[in-house]
Amino acid sequence: MDVDERRRPKRLPREVRERQILDAAVLVFSRHGYHDASMDEVSEVAGVSKPMIYAYLGSKEDLFGACIRREATLLFEAVTAGVRDALAPDMQLWHGLGAFFRFVGENRESWRVLHRQAASHGGPFNDELLQMRARAITLVTGLLTRSTPRPERDEQARLSTEALAAALVGSAESLADWWLDHPDVTDKMLASWLMNLAWMGFGDLVDGKVWTPS
């Protein structure tokens, strides 16, 4: 047995080091934002020297990208795990929303990095984020489309459906933000409120009831 087992092990497999670094980076980026976060702080929090970070994960930008990718993947997996194909479309949406809010509630830092920090960047991060959001919109669009009885809908209708999906996704994001200032609310409440807005509103559209300004 080692005399001093608590000492930080010097040599760890690359995989472990990378996770340590990414964990630290997510924390630091979520705290200060991309620019105000310093590689020094990341290395300090991770307990790893800076050259290691550069060796394993590349530049600051690369590191940030890796954070975004990992967190986005986790979020997406959580949501899709909730959406079971076998269920009816409304139930799928319901479970997806539930999974989304649950993830946000349990991973505040991840959400902050994804929603706030990454959004304020032109270029690569934005692209990845947009892709993420696009996938979410596609998913929701599918649910909405499948729930309509008349699949022969025209191009105009298709576009409006996608727009609605975008609006729903945006609603969810905004509610998640709003949640930060209203901690008493539960994830379930958020999900059911949004579900009502989404499904009831859309249900009317399906029935041909349309609001018009006149």
- Whether the CB-CB separation of 90 and 199 falls below 8 Å is answered with yes
Task: State residue 140 phi and psi, 5-degree precision.
Answer: -65, -40
Q: Which is nearer to a second copy, 16 or 159 (CB)?
A: 159
Question: Taking the complex as a whole, how short is the minimal distance between the CB of residue 205 and DNA, in angstroms?
Answer: 48
Q: Quote the longest CA-to-CA distance of the chain.
A: 83
Q: Cβ closer to a second copy: 69 or 116?
A: 116
Cβ proximity to DNA, 59 vs 138, nearer residue: 59
Region near a second copy per CB under 8 A, out of 9-17, 58-66, 67-75, 113-121:
113-121
Can you tell me the distance from the alpha carbon of 36 to that of 11, in angstroms, rounded to the nearest whole number? 30
Report the alpha-carbon distance of residue 32 to residue 38 in Å, rounded. 9
- Contact flags string 12-51 toward DNA, x per CB under 7 A: xxx--x------------------xxxxx-------xxxx
Q: Contacting a second copy (CB under 8 A), which of 14, 19, 35, 50?
A: 35
Instruction: Report how far residue 210's alpha carbon sits from residue 70's, in angstroms, rounded to the nearest whole number.
Output: 41
Q: Check residue 168 for interaction with a second copy (CB under 8 A).
A: yes
CA atoms of 27 and 108, how far apart (whole Å) = 10
Nearest to 48 by CA among 23, 70, 65: 23
Measured from the CB atom, the residue of 7 and 209 that comes closer to DNA is 7
Please give the Cα distance from 32 to 60 (Å, whole number): 14
Q: Which does 94 bind (CB under 5 to 8 A by kind): a second copy, DNA, none?
A: a second copy
Contact 110, 71 (CB under 8 A): yes
Q: Of these partners, DNA, a second copy, none, which one is at the site of residue 124 (CB under 5 to 8 Å by kind)?
A: none
What residue ranges bind a second copy (CB under 8 A)?
31-36, 90-91, 94, 116-117, 119-122, 130, 159-160, 163-164, 166-175, 177-178, 181, 185, 189-190, 192-205, 209-214
